[in-house]
Structure 1
Amino acid sequence: MEFFVEHRLLGLLIGIGTFLIIGLFHPVVIKAEYHWGTRCWWIFLLLGLAGIAVSMLTDNVLLSALAGVFAFSSLWTIKELFEQKERVRKGWFPENPRRKNDSRPQ
């Protein structure tokens, strides 16, 4: 960690981590909605709350920042799941033929 601070690379490392975390959540939204619909929103709520806790409880700046990005990306995913459902309804993304609605388990 000292190397990154001494060479003023911490911000760059946080930026790269943020880019990768946000990039990871795009396909996660698509796959989660395809397989489970919007029923899995609570998982992302728990992940978001856990990320907030980690971010607040750590003294490490890098871990705190990346946990915060992860937390709010998880919370944003809840909104995106419901928007993805609409995109599927409009035909922009494929519908899972084995899942007829969100209330019935597979």
Structure 2
Amino acid sequence: MTTIWHNLKESVINTYNALGLAWWVEIETQNPRCTYYFGPFISSTDAKLATKGYVEDLETEGAQGIVVNVKKCKPENLTIADDLGERIDRKVTPVFSGQL
């Protein structure tokens, strides 16, 4: 039953994301100057619950000046490294309950 629920949830999230209705965690850091997108999520609550883990990972990597925003969007690039003038497109993979 868990597999069926997981597959159904993934299907719904993918549909929401295709329509631009999915929720994403946008994290901007000042040092390095980057913008990261994590998601998609079916609800703002799910996205907010996952935020802590993303922030902890960035802090562990030494990021400073972290600003978090949870919003509905459809990011074209999941990582934008402003300092390097790079746009890094990671493969979009649904994340459930903050797990990678």
TM-score (norm 1): 0.28
Q: Higher Cα Rg: structure 1 or 2? A: 1
TM-score norm. by structure 2 comes to 0.30
Higher relative helix content: 1
Q: Which has the higher strand share?
A: 2
